[in-house]
Amino acid sequence: MTLPGSPFLARRGASLSLEQVELTDLARRFGTPLYAYSRNAMRAALAGYQRALAGRKHLICYAMKANSNLAVLQTFAQAGCGFDIVSAGELRRVLAAGASADKVVFSGVGKTRADMQAALEAGVLCFNVESQPELLLLSQVASAHGATARISLRVNPDVDARTHPYISTGLKGNKFGVAHEQALAVYRQAAELPGTEVAGIDCHIGSQITDIDPYIDAVDRLLDLVEAVEASGIPIHHVDMGGGLGITYTDETPPSAEALLGAVLARMDERGHGQREILLEPGRSLVGNAGVLLTEVLYLKPGEQKNFCIVDAAMNDLVRPAMYEAWMAIVPCELREQAAQRWDIVGPVCESGDWLGRDRDLAVRQGDVLAVLSAGAYGFAMSSNYNSRARAAEVMVDGNQVHLIRERESLTDLYALERLIP
Ligand SMILES: *Cc1c(COP(=O)(O)O)cnc(C)c1O
């Protein structure tokens, strides 16, 4: 079986390595469940976007909700990347990682007054405004601070990204963005209101998108609006195409960032918008294939209808299979010379939905370490303490170096904020 995803993950003999480090060694040293990331895989993914945009006015804003560990943010900030944030907590993380707010765009349908204040004080580059009432509140908050909020309207282009319904965001029925038909009126208002200044336009049509076409449809819809808004005397400086580029979990064949951007930029050129600054908000495609989740086989439980391979990672550690029925590759860190059997890989949580993979052919024994591949995006970031399980540790591999970038939670951390009643 070939491994989907990262060239930084390879089998040498029987052993699976991430960059120069054997995964079984990581599991032994740091325990399981353990998230392990390749720093050079992240750098390489970013470099793909940077190459495609070389010579253009651009800013790549990593959509940090995919993986918000400080060391991940630091890695991207050092490589010149900005950030797409969706909360004041994410803003605090960006600043804690040593990055500056002037490369931050602030997305999200439910920004609070406190979120806006924090972002204005930090001096974010742009607010991606998702509704008219949000615009009104932002104008109030900015005026009260004697500040000016640069804004971009997130427009819902009503294009079908043909992805999972939970991660499709650019259709009329979604909660995101301002409807295309209302956008011009909202831009007019933004240009008049005190405390706001129009900077750009943006969209984000979904996630795990594996076709170029929906992006080209979105470019056309956005440029139609740019032309209409500018014709009414309001200049638009940047066009933000959002994120959403998919990765290979199994047999998906998403375009590379270069291919996607080649097509997007060609379309912008064709329509005479080649000089315009372009912003992007990639999340999954920068980190997804850079990470694995390591988990130990606790018990093998063969049954009449199903064989269960019970591992020490669960839906609280990695929720994508339970939440989106996502298929993620699961492979042994050390190959065994024995016949494979068919297993459901399940965790210890008390829910039948607690599975990581179903009907997988694996040669495993109790005590073996398995790797769930392509777990670098929406893995740790979506983890929880359900069943009072402490969250996993995270390590960053860089060549032959290993850095512990998040300690395993302790059992007392689980209730540290709780109080008994006197
Ligand atoms: C989640 C999100 C992204 C990133 O999406 P990916 O599929 O991870 O690339 C970008 N922009 C916005 C507004 C988002 O909500």
Ligand 1 midpoint to CA 202 (Å): 12
User: For residues 280 and 209, what is the distance between their CA atoms, to the nearest angstrom?
Assistant: 14
> Which atom of ligand 1 is the closest one to the Cα of 208?
7
Cα 316 to chain centroid, rounded: 18
Q: Rounded to the nearest whole angstrom, what is the distance from the C-alpha of residue 284 to the centroid of ligand 1?
A: 8
Confidence bin at 130 (pLDDT 50/70/90): very high
Residue in 233, 236, 199, 239 with CA at minimum distance from that of residue 219:
239
63 CB within 6 A, ligand 1: yes
Model confidence at 132: pLDDT above 80: yes
**Cα gap 89→69, rounded to integer Å:** 12
Burial class (CB in 10 A: 0-12, 13-18, 19+), 304: exposed
Ligand 1: atom nearest CA of 377 is 8
pLDDT one-digit tens code per residue, 385-403: 999 999 999 999 999 999 9
pLDDT, residue 106, reads 98
Q: pLDDT digits over 339-384, tens only?
A: 999 999 999 998 888 999 999 999 999 999 999 999 999 999 999 9
| Overall residue count recorded for the chain in this entry | 422
Q: Which atom of ligand 1 is nearest to the CA of 285?
A: 9
Grade residue 165 by pLDDT with cuts at 50, 70 and 90.
Answer: low
Contacts of 236 by beta carbon, 8 Å cutoff, 6+ apart: 198, 199, 200, 201, 226, 229, 230, 276
* Phi, then psi, of 172 in degrees rounded to 5: -55, -35
In the reported structure, the alpha carbon of residue 85 is separated from the centroid of ligand 1 by a whole-number distance in angstroms of 10
Catalytic residues: 350
pLDDT tops 60 at residue 166 = no
Ligand 1 contact, 283 CB (< 6 A): yes
**Which atom of ligand 1 has the smallest separation from the CA of 65?**
1
Beta strands in 163-269 (DSSP E): 178-179, 196-202, 238-240
* pLDDT at residue 72 tops 70: yes
Mean pLDDT of 321-350: 96
DSSP letters of 233-254?
T----EEE----B---SSS--P
More confident residue, 6 or 76: 76
Quote the pLDDT of residue 160. Answer: 73
Which of 59, 60, 84, 90 for mutating ligand 1's site (highest number of atoms within 8 Å of CB)?
84
What percent of the chain is modeled with pLDDT above 70?
A: 96
Instruction: Report d(CA 380, CA 372) in Å as an integer.
Output: 12
Residue 150 DSSP code = E
Domains belonging to the chain, first-starting first, are 9-38+288-415 (2.40.37.10), 107-282 (3.20.20.10)
- 64 CA distance to ligand 1 middle (Å): 8
Distance CA 303, CA 1 (A): 26
- Predicted confidence (pLDDT) at residue 1 exceeds the cutoff of 50: no
Q: What is the rounded distance in angstroms from the CA atom of residue 389 to the CA atom of residue 350?
A: 12
> Which residue in the block uniquely carries the two structure tokens 């939670």?
409
Any atom of ligand 1 within 6 Å of the Cβ of 312? no
pLDDT at 5: 64
| Edge-first strand listing for the sheet containing 9-12 | 9-12, 15-18, 21-22
As given in the structure block, the two tokens for residue 62 are 């990593």
